[in-house]
Chain A
Amino acid sequence: MGYHLRKLAFYLTALWAAVTLNFVIPRLLPGNPVDILMAKLQQRGGSVDPAARQAYETLLGTGGRESFVQEYLAYLGNLLRGELGVSVSAFPAKVTDVIAGSLPWTVVLVGLATLLSFLLGVGLGAVVGWKRGTWLDSLVPATTMLSAVPYFWLALILVAVLASGLGWFPLNGGYDVVLDPGWSPEFLASALYHGTLPALTIVLSSVGGWLLGMRNMMVSAMSEDYVLTARAKGLRGSRVMMRYAARNAVLPSVAGFAISLGFVVSGSIVTEQVFSYPGIGSKLLQAVQNNDYALMQGIFLVITVAVLGANLVVDLLYGLVDARTRDRSTVS
Chain B
Amino acid sequence: MTRSPKLVTGLALAGVIVLFGLLGPLLTGDPATIRDSGLTPPGGEHLLGTTLTGQDVLAQLAHATRGSLWLGLLVGVLATVLSGVFGIVGAYAGGAVDEVFSLFSNVVLVIPGLPLVIVVAGFVPADQRGTSTIALVLAITGWAAAARVLRAQTLSLRNRDYVAAARVSGEKTWRVIGVEILPNLLPVIASQFVFAVVLAILSEAGLSFLGLGAADSSTLGTMLYYAQNGFALQREAWWWFVPPGLVIAVFGGALSLINFSIDEIVNPALRDRVRRDGDVVASDPAPPEPDAVLTVRNLNVVYRGDTPVHAVKDVSLTLRRGEILGLAGESGCGKTTLAYAVNRLHRPPAEVTSGSVMFGDVDVLALEAEELRRFRWVKLSMVFQGAMNSLNPVTTVRAQLKDVLTTHRPEMSSAQREERCAEVLRLVGVDPARLGAYPHELSGGMRQRVMIAMALLLEPRVMIMDEPTTALDVLVQREILDEIKRLRDELGFAVLFITHDLPLLLELSDRIAVMRDGEVVEHATAEDLYLRPHHPYTRELLASFPSLTGEAGALTR
- By a beta-carbon cutoff of 8 Å, the part of chain A in contact with chain B is 10-11, 13-14, 17-18, 21-22, 25-26, 29-31, 33, 132-134, 137, 140-141, 144-145, 147-154, 156-157, 159-160, 164, 216, 219-220, 223-226, 228-237, 239, 243-244, 247-248, 251, 258-259, 261-263, 265-267, 269-270, 273, 284-285, 287-289, 291, 293, 296-297, 299-300, 303-304, 307-308, 311, 321-324, 327, 331-332
Contact = CB atoms under 8 A, between A and B. Distances in A.
A139 B112 CA distance: 29
A237 B451 CA distance: 21
A295 to B, nearest CB: 10
Interface string B230-253: 000110000001101100111111
Contacts of B115: 265-266, 269, 284, 299-300, 303-304
A219 B407 contact: no
Contact of B234 (A164, A284, A293): A164
Contacts of A154: 245
A148 B72 CA distance: 14
Nearest to A287: B122
Contact of B407 (A152, A235, A332): A235
A151 B145 CA distance: 20
Contact of A270 (B123, B206, B269, B343): B206
A262 B407 CA distance: 42
B403 A235 contact: yes
A141 B253 contact: yes
A234 B110 contact: no
Interface stretch (B33-41, B382-390, B508-516): B382-390
Interface string B145-183: 100000000000000000000000000000000000000
Given A132-B275, A157-B245, A304-B111, A141 B403 contact: no
B256 interface: yes
B274 A258 contact: no
B121 A288 contact: yes
Given A141-B257, A220-B269, A226-B390, A284 B407 contact: no
A interface secondary structure, majority: helix
B389 A288 contact: no
B111 A29 contact: no
Given A10-B106, A288-B122, A303-B112, A141 B211 contact: no
Interface residues of B, number: 89
> Lowest 9 A-B CB distances belong to which pairs?
A148-B252, A133-B275, A266-B114, A234-B376, A153-B245, A288-B122, A145-B253, A225-B389, A149-B249
Contacts of B251: 148
Interface string B398-438: 01000110011000000000000000000000000000001
A40 to B, nearest CB: 14
Identify the interface centre among A226, A230, A327: most chain B CB within 10 Å of its CB. Answer: A226
B6 A226 contact: no
B111 A14 contact: yes
A160 B240 CA distance: 14
Nearest to B273: A133
Given A29-B124, A223-B269, A229 B248 contact: no
Nearest to B248: A150
B125 interface: yes
B256 A133 contact: no
29 contacts: A14-B107, A25-B119, A137-B272, A148-B198, A150-B205, A150-B245, A153-B205, A159-B233, A164-B233, A216-B263, A219-B270, A220-B269, A226-B392, A229-B391, A234-B407, A239-B407, A247-B394, A248-B394, A262-B109, A263-B113, A266-B206, A267-B206, A287-B122, A288-B121, A288-B210, A288-B212, A291-B122, A303-B112, A307-B110
A229 B447 CA distance: 13
Contact of A145 (B125, B221, B256, B386): B256
A239 B249 CA distance: 38
Nearest to A60: B123
A228 B345 CA distance: 8
A153 B248 contact: yes
Nearest to B204: A150
Contacts of B252: 145, 147-149
A141 B245 CA distance: 18
Contacts of B545: none
A297 B120 CA distance: 10
Contacts of A229: 382, 384, 390-392, 451
Given A132-B273, A233-B403, A248-B392, A31 B382 contact: no
Identify the interface centre among B118, B120, B124: most chain A CB within 10 Å of its CB. Answer: B118
Contacts of B6: 141
A150 B207 CA distance: 11
Contacts of A237: 373
Contacts of B403: 233, 235, 239, 243
A233 B390 contact: no
A239 B408 CA distance: 13
B128 interface: yes
A285 B241 CA distance: 22
Contacts of A308: 110-111
A226 B391 CA distance: 5
Contacts of A266: 112-115, 203, 206
Contacts of A236: 373, 407
A166 to B, nearest CB: 14
B394 A251 contact: yes
Nearest to A14: B107
Contacts of B110: 11, 14, 258, 262, 307-308, 311
A225 B336 CA distance: 13
B253 A144 contact: yes
Interface string B12-41: 000000000000000000000000000000
A145 B234 CA distance: 26
Contact of B390 (A30, A228, A285): A228
Nearest to A324: B440
Contact of A17 (B107, B145, B209, B244): B107
A265 B373 contact: no
B105 to A, nearest CB: 11
A39 to B, nearest CB: 14
B202 interface: yes
A152 to B, nearest CB: 5
B535 interface: no
B345 A232 contact: yes
A232 B441 CA distance: 24
Contact of B438 (A293, A303, A323): A323
Contacts of A273: 210
A67 B386 CA distance: 64
B382 A232 contact: yes
Given A144-B253, A234-B376, A156 B233 contact: yes
Nearest to B238: A160
A216 B270 contact: yes
Contacts of B260: 140-141, 144
Nearest to A149: B249
A134 B275 contact: yes
Nearest to A137: B272
Contact of A141 (B106, B203, B256, B395): B256
A291 B454 CA distance: 68
B311 to A, nearest CB: 17
